[in-house]
Amino acid sequence: MLTQTLRTLERDGLVSRSVTPSVPVRVDYALTPLGVSLLPVMRAIKDWAETHIERVAVARDTYDNRSTSAAARTPS
């Protein structure tokens, strides 16, 4: 899964991949200029998540409790 995600990011031009032939083989990834251009967006998403995490947790609990209650009422 991680390899697939990194390859997709590489394909999209967001990261560069470099292989160092050694034992074991070393593979490094770095942000490209295009990837770096996403940093302000990612910081904004992080800030939003930190600001709203409690509301998200309450919404998840409400949803989970509603789903659990509905499952308990469903005859088997």
- Report the distance separating Cα 53 and Cα 11, nearest Å: 32
pLDDT in tens, 22-75: 999 999 999 999 999 999 999 999 999 999 999 999 999 999 999 777 777 666
Question: What is the DSSP secondary-structure string of 30-41?
Answer: EE-HHHHTTHHH
pTM of full prediction above 0.85: no
CB atoms within 10 A of CB 53: 10
- Could you tell me where the beta strands, DSSP code E, fall in the chain? 15-20, 26-31
**pLDDT computed for residue 74 by the predictor:** 65
Region 13-23 average pLDDT: 97
